[in-house]
Amino acid sequence: MSTVIYYYTGTGNSLWTARTLAEKLGDTELVPMHRMNTGSNASEADAVGLVFPVHIWGIPSLVRNFLQTMEKRPGAYYFAVAVNGGQVARTLVQLKELMAEDNLTLSAGFDIMFPSNYIPWGGPVPVERQRKLFTDATEKINVAASYISNRKAGLIEKGPMWQRVLFTGLYKLTYDRVKTLDVNFHIDGACSSCGICERVCPVKNITLEAGKPVWHGNCEQCLACIQWCPETCIQYGKKTKNYERYHHPEVKVKDVFRELLQ
């Protein structure tokens, strides 16, 4: 039995989840969603996992695009982890439905909570709370690994009814607007032109012009650029200059460089 896990991450929570799950499952290859199937042994794996963050109460567009190009193997065992900040809403049900259109069965979908990286609404929760979330997430990954190892089927986790009703509408309303929300990014302070923002952007939406980042209207809103900026000089709107930055403490910036994602 072997597994391939495709992952997408902005600030490392999903990458850490994918890595931890891979360790527990054994014989698992990790592939960034941007690298697609190139150079991986995906075709040989009998289990296929998708690990990604919940964005605006649903599946990020990068993941939806990945699903369209992913090798489709109706005989494989498919599972997913929706990494989130406490509101998974209908994300995994949405994924199951999308996959069904391609005659693929999502056998298991797990909702795992981490510190939220959505900095426009505030900085990360206090360190003590983060530690508790990491401990709980590890326990949940253990449960998921056992379920997956036994190739069990039927568990698709979802948020309460109020979340599913209210937020599914909001997801639909905002989905098409996400790409251009990068108009809210700007530089405030001493940019050292290090280029990290450019390298962590999964969709090449940032280039350095005259040594400063420019966003090009094709944003995934993963927030990697603002969260990983070593000078804390990228801001989003007016409030983020007051907020601490966040990334998973066991993930390094080079682990999310786009070069890895090609």
Ligand X SMILES: Cc1cc2nc3c(=O)[nH]c(=O)nc-3n(C[C@H](O)[C@H](O)[C@H](O)COP(=O)(O)O)c2cc1C
Applying the rule CB under 6 A, the residues between 77 and 96 that interact with ligand X are 83-87
Question: Please, which of residues 219-238 interact with ligand X by CB under 6 A?
Answer: 221-223
What string marks each residue from 167 to 206 as x (binds ligand X by CB under 6 A) or -? ----------------------------------------
Our CB check for ligand X shows the closer of 27 and 244 to be 244
Q: Does 53 bind ligand X (CB under 6 A)?
A: yes
In the list 114, 134, 228, 257, the residue contacting ligand X (rule: CB under 6 A) is: 114
Decide if residue 30 touches ligand X (CB under 6 A).
no
Q: List the beta bridge partners of residue 77.
A: 47
Choose which of 4, 5, 10, 94 interacts with ligand X (CB under 6 A): 10
Q: Is position 213 an interface residue for ligand X (rule: CB under 6 A)?
A: no
Under the binding rule (CB under 6 A), the answer on residue 19 touching ligand X is no
For ligand X, the closer of residues 221 and 235 by Cβ is 221
Stretches 31-39, 102-110, 191-199, 218-226: which one binds ligand X (CB under 6 A)?
218-226
Per CB under 6 A, residues contacting ligand X are 9-14, 53-57, 83-87, 114, 116-118, 221-223
